[in-house]
Amino acid sequence: MTLQTLSSPTGIRSIVSYLGGAGVALLALVLALEPDVGFTAPFVWLALFWALQIGVGLAALQCALFLITRVDRFQQLPLWVVVFASGIAGSIFLSPIYWLIGEGLMEQVLGFPVRVDADGAVEVSVTFGIPAILDEFVDIVGPVTAAWALISWPRLQRLVPPLLNTPLAKSAESDPLITSLPEQDGALLKPAWRVALPSELGGELIAVGSELQYLRVWTTRGSALVLGALQQVEESEGRVGIRTHRSWWVNAQYVARVRGKGDGAVCEMSNGLEVPVSRRRKAEMLARFGNSASFNSAAIAIASPLPGSDQNIRRKPN
Which residue, 272, 240, 235, is CA-closest to 256? 272
* pLDDT in the model for residue 207: 94
Residue 258, in any domain of the structure: yes
Residue 1: inside a domain: no
Q: How much of the chain, in percent, has pLDDT values that exceed 70? A: 70
> Are 138 and 213 in the same domain?
no
> What's this model's pTM, rounded to 2 decimal places?
0.49
**pLDDT-derived band at 8, boundaries 50, 70, 90:** very low
Does residue 226 carry a pLDDT above 70? yes
Q: What is the mean pLDDT of residues 295-315?
A: 39
Domain shared by 152 and 15, yes or no? yes
What range defines the domain where residue 71 resides?
A: 9-157
Same domain, 133 and 249: no
Mean pLDDT over residues 52-71, rounded? 88
Identify whether residues 29 and 141 lie together within a single domain. Answer: yes
pLDDT beyond 70 at 307:
no
Domain count, the chain: 2
- Candidate ranges 23-32, 188-197, 238-247, 278-287; pick with highest mean pLDDT: 23-32
Q: Are residues 213 and 268 in the same domain?
A: yes
User: 76 and 216 share a domain?
Assistant: no
Per-residue pLDDT at 119:
55
Q: Report the pLDDT value the prediction gives residue 123, as an integer from 0 to 100.
A: 57
Asked whether residue 231 is assigned to any structural domain, the reply reads: yes
- pLDDT (tens digit per residue) in 21-51: 889 999 999 999 888 888 888 999 999 999 9
Q: Does 10 score more than 50 pLDDT?
A: no
Residue 101's pLDDT is what?
92
- Region 49-61: mean pLDDT is 93
Q: Given this model, what pLDDT does residue 306 score?
A: 38
pLDDT at 189: 66
Amino acid at 270: S
Q: Are residues 91 and 40 in the same domain?
A: yes
For residues 139 and 223, membership in a common domain is answered with no
179 or 123, which is more confident: 123
